[in-house]
Structure 1
Amino acid sequence: MSFVSNKRFTVGDYLIYSTTVLVSLLCLAPFLYVVSVSLTDPEVYVPFQFNILPEKWSLASYMYLLSTNSFLSALKNTVYITVVGTIFNIFVTFTMAYALTKKSLPGRTFILYAVVFTLVFNAGIVPNYLLVQGLGLINSHWALILVSLTNAWSLIVVKSFMDSLPPELEESARIDGCSDIGVFIRIIIPLSMPAIATFTLFFAVAHWNTYFNALIYLTDSSMWTLQVLIKTLVIDSGSNAVGQAGATGDQATLPQETIRMASIVLAILPILVIYPFLQKYFAKGVMLGSVKG
């Protein structure tokens, strides 16, 4: 049996689709411009000229960036913060969320209220800075890791997810002699792998894109992350931020605009490559813990 759609496109349908395509192209145009400029040969580069494809291809700007100590240092710092920070985030978030699912936990109600309170009220920039300064973490990567070990939204969502797990499994494990830690490691963690995968992505992307905290806590240029270095290149017109540590004679022949655009592409490329393969986890994370079985 075949089904034939009798729907006919109206003028309104054409307007909607045309508007959607136009808006999509407008959103895509800046990205195409960045990629095109970054791949344009310095000999044919013309400032502020938009080309979907470069007139002459060249990887000179990328090779220059990857040969400078400052860019490689910023890349190393960002990878370190992302990996270590994500591990700490997952550990703190899931252990705390599991503890909050236990009604026998002393002070559980107060802790839950305190967590919800932070969803509405925030201490602000100055108290946070004074705290980091008091802990001696200025110009330390731990300033970006320890101050964001978890957040209220993640705790509440993970707690809701754990509340939805069948309690019979935990009771069976206890009958078999498992302790609280044993139940958490052998039962809760395996059942929470979808949630762990989802929040690993959330935390990793947040650490990779961290900018403001790195800007105010890291004043030593050797400790900068990629986002701070790119800010210096793009906004402050400080191409010397790259050239200070490892510049070569090639810099004089490279337009500063192509270097800036190449740095932007290199910063977003890892997430851009990984995201399509892991998009299902992001979509699943939106509904995580919203339905109890």
Structure 2
Amino acid sequence: MKHYSTADKLVVGFAYVYMLVFVIVAIIPFMTIISTSLTNEQYIRANGFDLFPHDLSLAAYKFVLGRGSTILNAYRVTVIVTVVGTLISMVLTTMMAFALSRKEWRMAGPISFLVYFTMLFNGGLVPWYIVTTKYLHLYDQLLALMLPYAVNAFNLLIMRSFISTVDNGIFEAAKIDGANDAQLLVRIALPLILPGLATICLFYAISYWNDWWLGLMLVSDRDLYPLQMVIRSITSNISYAASNAANSSIAAAAIPKEGVKMATTVLTIGPIILLYPFLQRYFVKGLTLGSVKG
């Protein structure tokens, strides 16, 4: 049985205390958000925010969800963009990363450098907007919320690192058996880099889910507004909520303004928090695996 020295026990104890403090500090803001979203607006105005709800009220959630059309339609748009966009990004990123990981391909190095170069320099906002709207015609359509983020250079280079960890001898053996490049990717590489796939998939999903900038730049049709765009409108200008009071059972003067802000935040981050536990074991392993090779 292994015995630990006093110094080792102190280090381990300090690590546990540090993690406990870190968890508490991280969870306090989230608890405050949930508490405020469930607290009566009058209590908030009189006493401020608290860790636990007081004078329990669902008025904020009724206001946000009661009208149905705005938030629920934005949810529908964001779910479609996140699912379809993540799928497109994963397919394109995986295929390109596999090509760049092949050492026998002469252009792998130069193209990898060009990909990296885009992380340092870009053409600027105006040229990007002109190309996106005038030449690609990505305006006021769902594809405008997906294609500009289809391939992320950082995620691409990480995926290339994941694939590079696979022993090249496995690919050579498969080639001898008659496998082509598509089979090497689908049957050999992908099953061996599942942690990496889960990690990049989560990166892309969070990016699509949290994005409001593309909606601001490329969408004018309110029916195509993503969730974050609607949330931004509400939280940045609470008069947006007041202007819709006529369609709500809550009088304009009684709109739970602080509660609405917190309720929309809970509705926004909830799905991602629920998704993370299912990908956690792959996510942690994927981060470690991707750091082995560059």
Give the shorter-chain TM-score range: 0.7 to 0.9
Q: 5 Å matches for 1:158-169? A: 158-169=159-170
Q: For residue 56 of structure 1, what is the amino acid of its counterpart?
A: D
Does the Cα contact within 8 Å between 1:71 and 1:242 map onto a contact in 2? no
Question: Equivalences for 1:81-120 in 2 at 5 Å?
Answer: 81-105=81-105, 107-120=107-120
Aligned-residue offset at 1:80: 0.7
2:133/2:139 contact within 8 Å kept: yes
Letter in 1 for 2:209: W
- Using a 3 Å threshold, how does the CA distance of structure 1 residues 155 and 57 change in structure 2: closer, same or farther? same
Report the residue type matching 2:147 in the other structure: L
CA distance in 2, matches of 1:41, 1:288: 48
Sequence identity percentage: 35
User: CA RMSD for the aligned pairs?
Assistant: 3.2
CA 1:188–1:46 in 2, change beyond 3 Å: closer, same or farther? same
The residue matched to 2:239 in structure 1 has which SS? coil
Question: Which residue of structure 1 aligns with residue 38 of structure 2?
Answer: 39
Question: Residue 77 of structure 1 contacts residue 224 of structure 1 at CA under 8 Å; is this kept in 2?
Answer: yes
For the Cα contact (< 8 Å) 2:97–2:159, is it kept in 1?
A: yes
Match in the other structure for 1:133: 133
Q: Which residue type is aligned with residue 100 of structure 1? A: L
Query: Is residue 59 from structure 1 mapped to residue 61 from structure 2 by the alignment?
Result: no
2:160 aligned counterpart, secondary structure: helix
Partner residue of 1:174?
A: 175
Deviates more, 1:132-141 or 1:68-77: 132-141
Aligned length: 287
Gaps of 5+ in 1: none
- Matches of 1:91 and 1:147 in 2, distance apart? 15
Structure 1 residue 241: deviation in Å? 8.2
8 A Cα contact 1:233 1:260, kept in partner: yes
TM-score normalized by structure 2?
0.84
CA drift of 1:72 comes to 0.3
The residue number in structure 2 matching 1:211 is 212
How far does residue 271 in structure 1 lie from its aligned partner after superposition? 1.4
Question: 1:150-186 deviations in whole A, cap 9, x for unaligned?
Answer: 1222222222222221222222222222222222221
Once the two structures are superposed, the pairs formed by residues 1-293 of structure 1 within 5 Å of their partners are: 3=3, 6=6, 21=21, 28-42=27-41, 44-46=43-45, 49-68=48-67, 69-105=69-105, 107-134=107-134, 135-240=136-241, 243=244, 247-250=247-250, 252=252, 253-292=254-293
Deviation, structure 1 residue 9: 11
Q: Compute the displacement of 1:104 (Å).
A: 4.8
Give 1:218 deviation, angstroms: 1.7
Sort the Cα spacing of 1:96 and 1:33 in 2 relative to 1 into closer, same or farther, 3 A: same
Whole-angstrom distance in 2 between the partners of 1:50 and 1:265: 16
Give distance in 2, aligned partners of 1:90 and 1:114. 20
In structure 1, how many angstroms separate the alpha carbons of the residues matched to 2:243 and 2:84?
25
The alpha-carbon deviation at position 291 of structure 1 amounts to: 2.0
CA displacement 1:13-67 (0-9 Å, x = unmatched): 99xx69x94x876655443332222101356553561222222222232233223
Amino acid at match of 1:54: P
CA contact (8 A) 1:100 1:108 kept: yes
Structure with the larger helix share = 2
Q: Distance in 2 between matches of 1:172 and 1:8?
A: 47
Distance of 1:241 and 1:194 partners within structure 2: 46
Q: Distance in 2 between matches of 1:214 and 1:220?
A: 9
For residues 281 and 178 of structure 2, the distance between their equivalents in structure 1, rounded to whole angstroms, comes to: 37
Of the two structures, which has the highest relative contact order with CA contacts closer than 8 Å and spacing of 6 or more? 1
